[in-house]
Amino acid sequence: MASLKDIKLKITGIKKTEQITKAMNMVAAAKFRGAQERMEEFRPYAGKFSGVMGQLATRVDPNAFPLMEERDVKKSMVLVVTSDRGLCGAFNANIISAAENFIDEKKGEGKEVAVGCIGRKGYQYFSKTDVEVPIEITDCMARIEMVDAKKAGQECIRLFLDGQLDEIYLLYGRFVNVVTQKPTLKKLIPISATELSEVGEETEEEKSGPKAAYIYEPDPEEILNILLPMFVNVQIMAAMLETACSEQAARMTAMDNATRACSDMIHELTLAYNKARQAAITAELMDIVGGAEALKG
């Protein structure tokens, strides 16, 4: 049995850990609110954007746009959005294992696979494996800027148009609620016209409003040519914002669990400590009583 002093030391140590995890939980909670706000602020922009895209997509011939061209797939890429920092439970591990599943599946179909990384955790993992990593953007999740999303988007578009990649998927941590974050796979390029018109229909105003004949300036084809690359950026941006939000939520849960585990351990150790103390006192008493008896006799 551990000595009294050992147990005491252990209790102090765990109490300190508990303080740290509690503080991290609170920091994550504050950051989570910020991330959620940013995610919500982005929503009207993304929603409106998809609405207009969907509306345009129904008016043009999808084969005329290189970004919408469906090719025979020889090589595909998955753009993995993870967090920059750890200590958020299995959040990044879940995303990475979903990426691994994707890679195995595509390799099983006899295709080549590359991985693009947004967020340091994903890069740390994939740079050590033998898959090719053509895109690497790290240290961007603390403050998400359109510039980073744009950088990734432009690179994706370039690789696709050069013919180096035939399809690009986006994998990110979708925010379901504070306790659930789900790795989600979404096709990024080629942009499918049918999918676009589906998202386009979601906006309610369009449904209720009269279907008016628009004046297009310049013509629909040219507008779409300008908007398609922007649409890619918008989708990456949305994925980044959502991952950041999920990350903080995951950290909150992880730290909450850690704090709880700490208090459980402290409780158990305190019991053991008290028991040990009692045993020591009893032993001492026995000694004294024994000594007194011996003197008497």
Partner 1 sequence: MANKLNLEVVTPTKLVVSDEVDLCTVPGTEGVFGVMANHAPILSTLKIGEMHYDKDGNIVRLAVSGGFVEVSANRMTVLAEAAEISEDIDVERALRAKERAEKRLQEAESGREDIDIARAKAAMARALTRLKVAGKPS
**Nearest CA-CA partner of 199 in 47, 92, 38, 9:** 47
| From 71-79, 226-234, 242-250, 261-269, span contacting partner 1 (CB under 8 A) | 226-234
Structure tokens belonging to residue 118: 């947004």
Residue 42 falls in which region: left (phi positive, over 0), alpha (psi -120 to 50) or beta: alpha
Backbone angles phi, psi at 269, to 5 degrees: -65, -35
Q: Whose Cβ is closer to partner 1: residue 45's or residue 139's?
A: 45
Sheet arrangement for strand 75-81? 132-137, 112-118, 75-81, 167-175, 181-189
Q: What is the DSSP letter of 185?
A: E
Q: Whose Cβ is closer to partner 1: residue 16's or residue 48's?
A: 48
Nearest-approach distance from CB 226 to partner 1, in angstroms: 5
Give yes or no for a contact between 159 and 140, defined as CB atoms under 8 angstroms apart.
no
Structure tokens belonging to residue 153: 């988007």
Nearest-approach distance from CB 30 to partner 1, in angstroms: 19
Nearest-approach distance from CB 38 to partner 1, in angstroms: 7
Structure tokens belonging to residue 284: 């001492």
| Binding to partner 1, residues 141-160 (CB under 8 A) | 146
**Nearest CA-CA partner of 139 in 240, 61, 235:** 240
Look up 262 and say whether it is catalytic.
no
**Nearest CA-CA partner of 166 in 179, 178, 156, 174:** 156
Binding characters for partner 1, 232-271, by CB under 8 A (x = yes) = --x--x----------------------------------
Residue 49 falls in which region: left (phi positive, over 0), alpha (psi -120 to 50) or beta: alpha
| From 179-187, 219-227, 255-263, 272-280, span contacting partner 1 (CB under 8 A) | 219-227
60 binds partner 1 (CB under 8 A): no
Q: Whose Cβ is closer to partner 1: residue 218's or residue 297's?
A: 218
205 binds partner 1 (CB under 8 A): yes
Q: Which of 88, 140, 156, 245 is catalytic?
A: 88
162 binds partner 1 (CB under 8 A): no
Nearest-approach distance from CB 44 to partner 1, in angstroms: 5
Give yes or no for a contact between 185 and 78, defined as CB atoms under 8 angstroms apart.
yes
202 binds partner 1 (CB under 8 A): no
44 binds partner 1 (CB under 8 A): yes
Number of residues that bind partner 1 (CB under 8 A): 27
CA dist., res. 9 & res. 151, Å (int): 51
Q: Whose Cβ is closer to partner 1: residue 108's or residue 209's?
A: 209
Angle at 175 (CA atoms; ends 173, 180), nearest 5 degrees:
95
What is each CA distance from 230 to 63, 166, 188, 218, 269, in whole angstroms?
A: 19, 19, 12, 17, 58
| From 42-50, 76-84, 119-127, 172-180, span contacting partner 1 (CB under 8 A) | 42-50
273 binds partner 1 (CB under 8 A): no
102 binds partner 1 (CB under 8 A): no
Active site (catalytic) residues: 88
Task: By CB under 8 A, name the binding residues for partner 1.
Answer: 38, 41-42, 44-45, 48-49, 52, 56, 146, 205, 209-210, 212-218, 222-223, 226-227, 230, 234, 237
